[in-house]
Amino acid sequence: MIVPFAHILLFAAALFVMGLGCVLARRNLIMILIGVEIMLNAAAVALVGGSAYWRQVDGQVFVVFLMAMTSAEVAISLAMVVYLRRRKGTLVADDFDGMRG
Amino acid sequence: MNQSLLFLIPLLPLVCAVLIMLFGMRLPRLVTETLAVSGVVAAFLLTILFWGYADGEGTRASLGTWLAAVGVEIPFALYFDALAATMTLMVTGVATLIHLYAVGYMHEEADYARFFGLLNLFVFAMLAIVLADNLLVLFLGWEGVGLCSYGLIGFWYQKAENANAGTKAFLVTRVGDVFLAAALLWLFALTGTLTISTINAQASTISPEVVIALTLLLLLGACGKSAQLPLMTWLADAMAGPTPVSALIHAATMVTAGVYLLCRLFPLISLSSVGMLAITAVGALTALYAATCALAQREIKRVLAYSTMSQVGFMFMAVGAGSVAGAMFHLITHAFFKALLFMAAGCVIHLAGNENDLFRMGGLAKRGPRDVFWAFLAGAVCLAGLPLTGGFFSKDGILLALFSHADPVYQLFWGIGALTALLTAVYTFRLVYLVFAGEPREHSHSHELPGLMRWPLWPLALLGLGGGLINLPPLFGGHEWLSHRLGALAGREIVAAHGTEWLLAGLATVLAALGWLVARWRYGRFAPPRDNRVSRFLLRGWGADAAVDLLVVRPFTAMARFCFIGCDRALVDATLDGLARQTTACGERLRAVTTGRVSTYLAAFVWGFLIILGGFLLALVR
């Protein structure tokens, strides 16, 4: 393997933390979704790396599943974004506090 | 005939009471009224039919076991002896006439089913007292009459004062009942039975001190029901009830239940001379107290209520002097003439347009129907004890029993009795003069008198005037029928010289005549009432209500207030409320955490995740 396994894992971890930061820090719903996507892709990178390292195909199969799941997730969440935007006229996540105690 | 048929006497009024209470308002009015009257009439006729059963030792009848436990068996049992039979005949007879009167009196009342239901239930309870073979059945009736009295005094409960009068009567008599219950339990502990005749037979085995205590307990129990000192405050207020109720319950029957109880247990109580002295003293003091109060009352029914108290005091004196026959004799004649007076007073109030105040009546002899006047006068001369009326003989018998008693203290009570007799004559004729003499002082609209309110007066007037024949002393050519009928139950034989008897009879005549003259001199011509301190004092019943209020009601209220506000609210409630408030406050503070914002939750989620991860790492490092 040209790239060392440790680098791949570090890259995946960095990607995950950035995604997490995006999810936590941003208030726009779309940006939060993008953060989630980045975190998912970080997981996918780690899986592909693992697959290459152990020369097993399972990781790649997982990634294919992950892609399918992600596309479904994006479709649903974007639909919800559209719906929420219509309902409240805003996309700021903090405005949706209907569950406040 | 079967002896169990005796049970029909109390049970028929009970059946009628239940029927009236369940279906009274659905049946036509006439049917309900007929049912009410027929239950009592049937009991009266049955008493006459079974009269022979009372001969000799009397008859016992049992309907089965009421309570059964280890070593205890208390049956539903009746004892029909001469004493019970005489009393039953009086109760059912007077109740019959009063029921008939009540049909007339209540003819405009909308809630007649409740009235007649309670009235019949009362007759049942009273007969249970009279016929009881054991003290538990007697106690059942004792509480039953109290309940009916409560319901009937407060019959027009929409007015708060009537309802309060009922509550007062119930509570005050309940005080006496506690003592009676204590006496019953003690007797049971001593003798292991509650059967009256067994207790009387075993009485001599009980130690003298205990007999004194038992007698005093029984006396207090009797005082509650019979409105004697110190439990007498309820009777005057009990006049808030309808007049037939006053006549039946608060004059003729229930208030004499205490006398009857003492007569029933006479073999027991006669063993303690201290107890007998206490009974006489209570009777004498009540007689005098009530007679003085009656002198100043303004309401016609209150005068009669105080006079009832006073006359029941005479009966207590008779029991205390050892003359059961004398007590029963006065009980019976008093029932006749006092029921008559109350019923006539009901007619008078009707005629005066529901006016209760003596000072605003007057002239009813001219204005009203003559028969009411004559009936009232018949009752009044009996009460005042004019010679040859029933009241004269019975009161004279009691005074003779007191006078001829071996113990000189009883002479003092005789003096009080004679003074009371004088006062009785004064207030009785005061009543007659204020109601009937002169011109009407207020022109009020008088109501029509239904026939049913008028003719039941006549049998009672005859019975009251001729009541002396029941126990006519040999001095007047009689045979003392009642004393012979009671036989061994009659108590002490009264022995007195003929000269003494003539002297006392003469004195009684003089006292009655003197009372009449005083009343005639003072009230023959109406003068506006003088309002001085003495009359106010007497009008308020010597301030008895105020004293009770000060000594009992207020401390009790204060204690209840302390328990409620001091203990229950300040301690128990406050602790629990404080706990609840603290919990709520914690919840309030925690509430701030749930902002409803996704970002907060996510942050918490991440922090939580990091903590768990840190924990794992620490575990890994170790």
User: Which residues of chain B does A101 touch, with a Cβ-Cβ cutoff of 8 Å?
Assistant: 591, 593-594, 596
Can you point out the beta strands (E) in B410-507? none
Give the per-residue pLDDT at A70.
93
Contact state of B599 with A97 under an 8 Å Cβ cutoff: no
User: Which residues of chain B does A24 touch, with a Cβ-Cβ cutoff of 8 Å?
Assistant: 599, 602-603, 606
The chain B residue lying nearest A94, using CA atoms, is B597
Q: Token digits for B217?
A: 């307990």
Q: Token digits for B301?
A: 């029914």
In a domain, A27, yes or no: yes
In a domain, A33, yes or no: yes
**Cβ contacts of B15-23, under 8 Å, gap ≥ 24:** B15/B39, B16/B40, B16/B120, B17/B117, B17/B118, B17/B120, B17/B121, B17/B123, B17/B124, B18/B117, B20/B113, B20/B116, B20/B117, B20/B120, B21/B113, B21/B114, B21/B117, B21/B121
Per-residue confidence band for A43, with pLDDT thresholds at 50, 70 and 90 = very high
In a domain, A40, yes or no: yes
Please tell me if residue B613 touches chain A, with a CB cutoff of 8 Å.
Answer: no
**Cβ contacts of B598-603, under 8 Å, gap ≥ 24:** B598/A32, B598/A93, B598/A94, B598/A96, B599/A24, B599/A27, B599/A93, B599/A94, B602/A23, B602/A24, B603/A24
The model's pTM: 0.78
In a domain, A15, yes or no: yes
In a domain, A94, yes or no: no
Q: How far is A3 from chain B (nearest CA, A)?
A: 27
Please tell me if residue A20 touches chain B, with a CB cutoff of 8 Å.
Answer: yes
Q: Are B460 and B333 in contact (CB under 8 A)?
A: no
Please tell me if residue B586 touches chain A, with a CB cutoff of 8 Å.
Answer: no
Q: What angle do CA B526, B386, B327 make, to 5 degrees?
A: 120
Per-residue confidence band for A86, with pLDDT thresholds at 50, 70 and 90 = very high
Q: What angle do CA B477, B478, B481 make, to 5 degrees?
A: 170
Per-residue confidence band for A37, with pLDDT thresholds at 50, 70 and 90 = very high
- ipTM for the predicted complex comes to 0.79
Q: How far is B602 from chain A (nearest CA, A)?
A: 7
User: Which residues of chain B does A20 touch, with a Cβ-Cβ cutoff of 8 Å?
Assistant: 606
Residue type, B444: S
Q: Are B464 and B382 in contact (CB under 8 A)?
A: yes
Q: Measured between CB atoms, which of B595, B599, B606 is closest to A100? A: B595
Q: How far is B619 from chain A (nearest CA, A)?
A: 22
Please tell me if residue A88 touches chain B, with a CB cutoff of 8 Å.
Answer: no
For B572, residues 6+ apart whose C-beta sits below 8 A from its C-beta are none
Q: How far is A19 from chain B (nearest CA, A)?
A: 13
Give the per-residue pLDDT at B312.
92
Give the per-residue pLDDT at B313.
92
Which CATH number characterizes residue A73's domain?
A: 1.10.287.3510
Please tell me if residue B606 touches chain A, with a CB cutoff of 8 Å.
Answer: yes
The span from the CA of B340 to the CA of B457, in Å, is 6
The chain B residue lying nearest A95, using CA atoms, is B597
Q: Token digits for B492?
A: 């002490």
Q: What angle do CA B186, B191, B196 make, to 5 degrees?
A: 90
Rounded to the nearest 10 degrees, the angle between the axes of helix B257-264 and helix B324-351 is: 170
Please tell me if residue A54 touches chain B, with a CB cutoff of 8 Å.
Answer: no
Q: How far is B595 from chain A (nearest CA, A)?
A: 5
Please tell me if residue B587 touches chain A, with a CB cutoff of 8 Å.
Answer: no
Please tell me if residue B595 touches chain A, with a CB cutoff of 8 Å.
Answer: yes
In a domain, A99, yes or no: no
Contact state of A97 with B597 under an 8 Å Cβ cutoff: yes
| DSSP annotation string for B479-525 | --HHHHHHGGGGBSPP---HHHHHHHHHHHHHHHHHHHHHHHHHHSS
Beta bridge partners of B323: B491
Grouping H, G, I as helix, E, B as strand and the rest as coil, residue B106 is coil
Expressed as residue numbers, the domain containing A41 is: 5-89
- Counting as low any pLDDT under 70, the low residues of chain B are 1, 444-445
Contact state of B598 with A96 under an 8 Å Cβ cutoff: yes
B 13-52 near A (Cβ less than 8 A):
none
Q: Are B325 and B490 in contact (CB under 8 A)?
A: yes
Query: Count of CB contacts below 8 A, A vs B?
Result: 31
Q: Are B361 and B372 in contact (CB under 8 A)?
A: no
The chain A residue lying nearest B607, using CA atoms, is A24
Please tell me if residue B604 touches chain A, with a CB cutoff of 8 Å.
Answer: no
Q: How far is A97 from chain B (nearest CA, A)?
A: 4
In a domain, A62, yes or no: yes
In a domain, A96, yes or no: no
User: Which residues of chain A does B605 touch, with a Cβ-Cβ cutoff of 8 Å?
Assistant: none
The span from the CA of B33 to the CA of B164, in Å, is 28
CA distance from start to end of chain A: 54
Q: Comparing A57 with B451, which gets the higher pLDDT?
A: A57
User: Which residues of chain B does A91 touch, with a Cβ-Cβ cutoff of 8 Å?
Assistant: none
Helix (H) or strand (E) holding B69: strand B59-69
- Domains: count for chain A: 1
Give the per-residue pLDDT at B6.
84
Per-residue confidence band for A7, with pLDDT thresholds at 50, 70 and 90 = very high
User: Which residues of chain A does B606 touch, with a Cβ-Cβ cutoff of 8 Å?
Assistant: 20, 24
Which DSSP letter does residue B4 get? G
Helix (H) or strand (E) holding B76: strand B72-80
Rounded to the nearest 10 degrees, the angle between the axes of helix B208-226 and helix B257-264 is: 160
Tokens 């009642």 -> residue: B482
Give the per-residue pLDDT at B202.
86
- The tens digit of pLDDT for each residue in B252-290 reads 888 899 999 999 988 888 888 888 899 999 999 999 999
- The tens digit of pLDDT for each residue in B133-154 reads 888 889 999 999 999 999 999 8
